[in-house]
C-alpha cells in the first residue's frame, strides 16, 4: 500500500513538473521565431518596400509591402504562420500579387527584424497598426484579410473589429486549445495556455464574407478544428469551406482548386 501511495505521489509530482514546464516554454513552441539582421537586404522579385510600425510600448514591427503589376484592385493584409520570418513568408505573400492586389505582410514580435515583448494582446494590436496603415491608401471594402495557420488568430480578431472585403483563412483553427489537445490531451490547457487565440469567439463579430481552405490530411492543425470554426461563422454571412481530401498543412497551394477559388474570391 505504501508503495502504491509513493508511486501515485511520484506520478503526481511528475505531472505538475510537466505542466509547469509547458507553461514556461509554451511561447517557444507556439512562436518558432527566426531573427534577421536589421541591415539584411531582401531580394524578392518585383517591386516592394520595407515598412516600420512604431508601437506605443516601444516595440518596432517590420513589414514588407509588395506592389502588383498594373492597376491594383486593392490590398491583401497577410498574416503568416508560426515558423520562420519574412525571408520565407515574403515569397508566399509575393505570389498573391498575381491576383492583382498589393500585399502587406508583417513579422510578429521577435520574428525577422521585428522587436518587442510578445503577447497575444500585442499581436492583435500590431495587426491593427498594419490595417490602419493600409487605410491611408485603400478603401476598407478593398482590403482583404488573409490568415495562414497561426495567422488566422490575428486575422480573425482584426476582421471582427474592422470593415474588410473578405476574410480568407488557410489551414486555420477554431482555437489553440484544439491544436494543443491534438498533440496531447493530458494537460489542462485551459489553465496553462496563455495564447488561446479564440477564433471561434472572434468570428461572431465578423461582418464580411469568410472563406476557409483546409486539408483532411493536415497533421498540424486538425481538420475538425477548422470545421468547428466554420460552424461559428454567422449564418447570414457569405461563407464557404473549401476542403482538400488529400491536402496537408503546407501544400494546398499546389492544387488547381486552390488557385481557382482564390481567384474567384478576390475577383468577386
Task: Specify the CATH architecture of the domain 2-267.
Answer: 3-Layer(aba) Sandwich (3.40)
Q: For the CA atoms of 118, 104, 202, 73, what is the dihedral angle to 10 degrees?
A: 170
Q: How many angstroms separate the CA atoms of 220 and 250, rounded?
A: 9
Give the closest residue to 215 by CA, choosing from 147, 169, 260. 169
3-state DSSP assignment of residue 41 = coil
Higher pLDDT, 31 or 188: 31
* Domain limits, the chain: 2-267
Task: List, for residues 30-87, the tens digit of each pLDDT value.
Answer: 999 999 999 999 999 899 999 999 999 999 999 999 999 888 999 999 999 999 999 9
pTM: 0.94
Task: List, for residues 111-162, the tens digit of each pLDDT value.
Answer: 999 999 999 999 999 999 999 999 999 999 999 999 999 999 999 999 999 9
Burial (CB count within 10 angstroms: exposed 0-12, middle 13-18, buried 19+), residue 3: exposed
Q: How many angstroms separate the CA atoms of 109 and 86, rounded?
A: 12
From residue 67, give the alpha-carbon distance in Å to each of 73, 102, 132, 155: 11, 5, 18, 21
Burial (CB count within 10 angstroms: exposed 0-12, middle 13-18, buried 19+), residue 251: middle
C-beta separation of 136 from 102 below 8 A:
no
Percent of the chain past pLDDT 70, that is, above it, reads 99
- DSSP H or E stretch at residue 88: helix 86-95
Q: How many angstroms separate the CA atoms of 174 and 225, rounded?
A: 5
Amino acid at each position: 500500500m505504501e508503495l502504491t501511495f509513493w508511486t501515485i505521489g511520484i506520478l503526481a509530482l511528475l505531472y505538475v513538473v510537466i505542466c509547469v514546464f509547458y507553461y514556461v516554454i509554451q511561447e517557444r513552441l507556439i512562436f518558432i521565431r527566426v531573427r534577421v539582421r536589421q541591415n539584411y537586404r531582401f531580394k524578392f522579385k518585383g517591386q516592394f518596400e520595407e515598412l516600420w510600425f512604431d508601437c506605443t510600448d516601444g516595440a518596432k514591427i517590420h513589414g514588407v509591402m509588395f506592389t502588383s503589376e498594373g492597376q491594383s484592385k486593392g490590398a491583401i493584409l497577410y498574416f503568416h504562420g508560426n515558423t520562420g520570418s519574412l525571408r520565407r513568408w515574403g515569397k508566399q505573400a509575393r505570389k498573391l500579387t498575381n491576383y492583382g492586389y498589393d500585399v502587406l505582410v508583417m513579422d510578429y514580435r521577435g520574428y525577422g527584424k521585428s522587436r518587442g515583448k510578445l503577447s497575444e494582446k500585442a499581436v492583435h494590436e500590431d495587426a491593427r497598426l498594419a490595417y490602419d496603415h493600409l487605410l491611408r491608401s485603400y478603401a476598407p471594402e478593398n482590403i482583404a484579410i488573409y490568415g495562414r495557420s497561426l495567422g488566422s488568430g490575428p486575422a480573425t480578431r482584426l476582421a471582427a473589429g474592422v470593415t474588410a472585403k473578405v476574410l480568407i483563412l488557410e489551414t486555420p483553427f477554431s482555437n489553440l486549445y484544439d491544436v494543443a489537445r491534438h498533440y496531447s490531451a493530458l494537460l489542462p490547457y485551459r489553465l496553462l495556455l496563455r495564447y488561446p487565440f479564440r477564433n471561434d469567439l472572434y468570428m461572431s463579430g465578423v461582418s464580411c464574407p469568410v472563406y476557409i481552405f483546409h486539408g483532411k490530411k493536415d497533421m498540424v492543425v486538425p481538420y475538425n478544428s477548422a470545421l468547428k470554426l466554420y460552424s461559428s461563422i454567422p449564418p447570414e454571412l457569405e461563407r464557404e469551406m473549401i476542403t482538400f481530401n488529400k491536402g496537408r498543412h503546407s501544400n494546398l497551394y499546389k492544387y488547381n482548386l486552390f488557385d481557382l477559388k482564390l481567384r474567384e474570391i478576390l475577383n468577386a
